[in-house]
Structure 1
Amino acid sequence: MSGSVFVLNAGSSSLKYQLVDPDSGEVHVAGIVERIGEEGSDVPDHEAAVRRALDAIEGRPEPTACGHRVVHGGERFDGPALIDDDVEAAIDELSALAPLHNPANLEGIRAARAVLPDIPHVAVFDTAFHRTIPAEAATYAIPVDLASRYGVRRYGFHGTSHRYVSRAAAEFLGIPLERSKVIVLHLGNGASACAVDGGRSIETSMGMTPLEGLVMGTRSGDIDPAALFHLHRQAGFGFEELERMLNRDSGLKGLTGRGDMRDVQAAAADGDAAAEAALAVYRHRIRKYIGAYLAQLGGLDALVFTAGVGENNSLLRRRTLAGLEHLGLQVDPDRNEVPSHEARRISPDGAPVAVLVVPTNEELEIARQTAAVTEDR
């Protein structure tokens, strides 16, 4: 099957869309419909949002398939899935693991299937790329009956980004994918690291939820669970307060009052000691994961920065890798400062490990996976 893919990413009150050629990567149209269902909005529901998006692509190539981003595929989905009523039901059941995301993703799916009943729809799951993580990396050391009954394990997220970027890195270097060893640092407001061996995820920093791992804009990343028990006993925090604090009021925001890396870095440049300390914590966490993943991979062809912070913040890249020359990680100061929207090398020629910046393209990855599922229809 060939043709353009209509890529949808539905949130609770927004719908991002692109019309993408999966072969060339050309984006015919891209946009967002916002304020879905909000008071005073002229977009009452997701079906109206899909129709609004279709109006925006009128006159462009007709989509031959629709690809949907779905955050959580649990243990059931290890790749993209052609959507039918059973797949819809499974996504709904998995909402227990992603209550903030899967229900909204499902709203978009149902709306699009109603508006576009004559083309195939495919679910592409953030978690699917990480289903190759071995049991010893996915297992938490809690009672096995509880873990099994309630689905407590490492699932990992940002999978479409890690998959796209790790493959693009191998292609950039001219290394066969099946022999490549890559660490991807997806650094945006949400952030995660991933060790990719031969094109397969073998470890990732996010866990059962996107809260674990690196320091993020408003999420804490790794924390001793007993710290929460302490806050409950000593400060009277309840379950919902702790959950909100860790997800919305922690990370860079918790350390500095600012959740945007650009604001934190500007404050540090102006001499704000709290901002500089927060950046040190942020970098330290990344370096710890780099070391751990080097050990797991047993070698490294490339370390790759991607996503908004990773792609655009040359100072962060340089300072994060400073002092890691003994691991083969070096940054060429001139290459690092050159802005570009293309994949590029920022390490010196002859460095033992290639340090790359590779812009992520999750929409293209979704389009390609959708086309692969539907090409024989």
Structure 2
Amino acid sequence: MLSPLILVINCGSSSLKFALFPLEGRTPVLVGLAECLGQAEASIRIDHAGTRDKRAIANAGHQQALDCLLGRLGEMGLLEPISAVGHRVVHGGERFTGSAPITPEVLADIEACAQLAPLHNRANLIGIFAAMKALPDTPQVAVFDTAFHQTMPPEAYLYALPRLYHSRLGVRRYGFHGTSHRFVAAEAVKLLGLDPDHHGLIIAHLGNGASATAVLNGRSVDTTMGMTPLEGLVMGTRSGDVDFGVLAHIARHEGLDIDGLEALLNKTSGLLGLSGLSGDCRALQEAASQGHAGATEALGVFVHRLVRHIGALAMSLPRLDALIFTGGIGENSALIRGRTLDHLGLLGFELDSAANDTMPRGESGVISRGAGPKAAVLPTNEEWMIAHDTAAIAGLLSNSAQNERLAS
């Protein structure tokens, strides 16, 4: 009998990530990515058993990419062992405080939340419907980016706007990257030997999208992203915090409407807009090392904004035991980590330059020294976290097995 597998589907606005996990262990048996969906250069890549299969799927949308994936899984004999499917869903609004089995009522709630994240939730729904069609008798589970942050108190999630907008339109701060923050928070307790019931962390998930979260005893109490993933830190092409007066000024002088402003803030700002060169931190570090002024300033603003938010998040905690770096930039950029810690001496951080500069890619470890709070690098694993929730909710794991998986 074939061992059960968990399929994880993560539909982005123009991409589709996927992975197949066994019930035991954290190493996927298959991973892949469909990217540039809706464009002539759309393609799908599947990595399995040491081989890579990449093929063009020109102009394919999410549905066609999923059809291609599920067809290939059938050809490889990997469709039948799938015992449950986990779906990343970006926005759960105030309806969801945890992962949930997908029912008609849950589908309706996800659709209702689509107005808060129209590009993402509707793409997530495409993935859900495609998987339900291909695997009609297989349990499907939704894992929400926003759920982890539903423990924030009102003073952290309310905007200083008339209350009717919260009650009528759901206007409030929700936070994102919750699956990553939840995974890293639990792993940090094990890595640093912290008391699970008495600790305070700040987790910096840094990548093309970036957010930081204050975690008290495993629960989110404050975060940098808001009602949408635009608020907070400087990101690859997203601006992060901007004075609305600036936007009104630009709109009046440039004749931009609301859609134009949204495109400006989400697609041409951030590191890309500041540098005039790229939204990729790696490219900017290389350019800065060669004297590119725009790249140098962009990295400086990125670090300054990050440090400022870390300081603010620290004030949301009664204690601070550690700062954890994760995400593509957080895990791989010694430069960003080092500059950030150099600015956090007031909070008691002391950089261990040698440990920081030699931190192996994909590994966890401490990069600070001294008696103050620890700073560490810890790779995230959102896909495994989704697989774990899915297996648990689908009833494929006993309580003891769930605890073993989390402790492994």
Compute the TM-score of the two structures, normalised by the length of structure 1: 0.94
Q: Does 1:72 align with 2:91?
A: yes
Alignment of 1:181 with 2:182, yes or no, is no
Aligned-residue offset at 1:342: 1.9
Q: 1:82 aligns with which of 95, 98, 101?
A: 101
Distance in 2 of aligned mates of 1:42 and 1:280: 38
Q: Which range is displaced more, 92-101 or 45-54?
A: 45-54
5+ residue gaps, structure 1: none
| Corresponding residue to 2:285 among 265, 272, 276 | 265
Q: In 2, are the aligned partners of 1:33 and 1:53 still within 8 Å (CA)?
A: no
Cα displacement string for residues 161-210 of structure 1 (whole angstroms, at most 9, x for unaligned residues): 00001111011112232222110000000100000001000000000000
State how 1:330-349 maps to structure 2 within 5 Å.
330-338=350-358, 339-348=360-369
Equivalent in the alignment of 1:281: 301
Structure 1's 61 and 302: CA in aligned 2 closer, same or farther, altered over 3 A? farther
Structure 2: which amino acid aligns with 1:86?
A: E
Q: Distance in 2 between matches of 1:24 and 1:376?
A: 14
Q: Which region of structure 1 is more displaced relative to structure 2, 206-215 or 111-120?
A: 111-120
Runs of 5+ unmatched residues, structure 2? 41-56, 398-408
Deviation at 1:351, TM superposition (A): 3.3
TM-score, length-normalised on structure 2?
0.87
Aligned to 2:52: none
Aligned-partner SS, 2:375:
strand
Aligned to 2:12: 11
CA distance in 2, matches of 1:280, 1:13: 30
- Describe how 1:295-334 pairs up with structure 2 within 5 A: 295-334=315-354
Counterpart for residue 379 of structure 2: 359
Q: CA deviation at 1:43?
A: 5.3
Mark the CA change 1:34 to 1:232 in structure 2 (over 3 Å): closer, same or farther: closer
1:109-120 equivalent positions in 2, closer than 5 A? 109-120=128-139
The amino acid of 2:94's aligned partner reads: E
CA distance change for structure 1 residues 36 and 342 in 2, over 3 Å: closer, same or farther?
same
- Deviations along 1:131-190, one digit per CA (max 9) or x if unpaired, are 001011000011111222111100100000000011110111122322221100000001
Distance 1:135 1:57 in 2: 50
Letter of the 2:243 counterpart: D
For the residues of structure 2 that align with 1:292 and 1:23, how far apart are their CA atoms? 39
* Whole-angstrom distance in 2 between the partners of 1:85 and 1:166: 32
* AA in 2 matched with 1:171: K
Contact kept? 2:89, 2:124, Cα under 8 Å: yes
Alignment of 1:224-235 (within 5 A): 224-235=243-254
Q: Counterparts of 2:237 and 2:76 in 1: how far apart (Å)?
A: 35
Paired AA for residue 372 in structure 1: A
Q: 2:67 aligns with which of 37, 41, 48?
A: 48
Q: 1:164/1:245 Cα in 2 relative to 1: closer, same or farther (>3 Å)?
A: same
Q: 2:400 corresponds to which residue?
A: none
Corresponding residue for 1:128?
147
Corresponding residue for residue 258 of structure 2: 239
- Decide which of 275, 299, 321 is 1:256's aligned counterpart: 275
Q: Which deviates more from structure 2 when the two are superposed, residues 358-367 or residues 222-231?
A: 222-231
Report the secondary structure of 2:197's partner residue: helix
Distance in 1 (alpha carbons) for counterparts of 2:22 and 2:195: 25
Q: 1:373 aligns with which of 386, 393, 396?
A: 393
Using the TM superposition, give the Cα deviation of residue 61 of structure 1 relative to its aligned residue in structure 2, in angstroms.
Answer: 8.3
Listed as ranges, the matches of 1:58-207 within 5 Å are 58-59=77-78, 62-207=81-226
**Cα pair 2:330 2:377 within 8 Å, conserved:** yes
Provide, for residues 72-127 of structure 1, a one-character-per-residue CA deviation record: whole Å limited to 9, x for no partner. 00000110010011111111111101011000100000000110112110000000
CA contact (8 A) 1:33 1:49 kept: no
For 1:236, give the aligned amino acid. G
Divergent runs of 4+, >4 A: 34-40
Change in CA separation of 1:243 and 1:37 when aligned onto 2, cut-off 3 Å: closer
Would the alpha carbon gap of residues 56 and 316 (structure 1) be closer, same or farther in structure 2, given more than 3 Å must change? farther
Higher RCO (CA 8 Å, separation ≥ 6 residues)? 1
Deviation at 1:325, TM superposition (A): 2.3
CA contact (8 A) 1:303 1:354 kept: yes
Identity %: 50
Shift of 1:57: 5.4
Alignment deviations for residues 203-223 of structure 1 (CA, whole Å, 9 cap, x no partner): 000000000000001000001
